Amino acid sequence: MSSRITGDINVVMADDHEIFRDGFRLTLSKNPDIHLVGEAANGQELIALVEELKPHVVITDIKMPKMDGIEATRILSARYPQMGIIGLSMFDEDDLIIDMLEAGAKGYLLKNADKAEVIEAIKTVYEEEVYYCRQTSSKLVQLIAKSKFNPHGKMRAEFGEKEIEIIQLICQEYTNKEIAEKLYLSVRTVEGYRLKIQEKMQVKNTVGLVVYAIQHNLFDPNKV
Q: Name residue 166's amino acid.
A: I
Give the pLDDT of residue 142.
Answer: 92
Residues 45-73: tens digit of each pLDDT = 999 999 999 999 999 999 999 999 999 99
Edge-first strand listing for the sheet containing 107-110: 34-40, 9-14, 57-61, 84-89, 107-110
- The per-residue pLDDT for range 143-177, each reduced to its tens digit, is 999 999 988 776 778 999 999 999 999 999 999 99
Burial 67-95 (b: 16+ CB within 10 A, else e): bbbbbbbbbbbeebeebbbbbbbeeebbe
Cβ contact 188:179 at 8 Å: no
Q: Say what the pTM is.
A: 0.88
Alpha carbon distance 218, 1 (integer Å): 22
Average pLDDT of the chain to the nearest whole number: 91
* Nearest to 108, CA basis, from 127, 143, 135, 128: 135
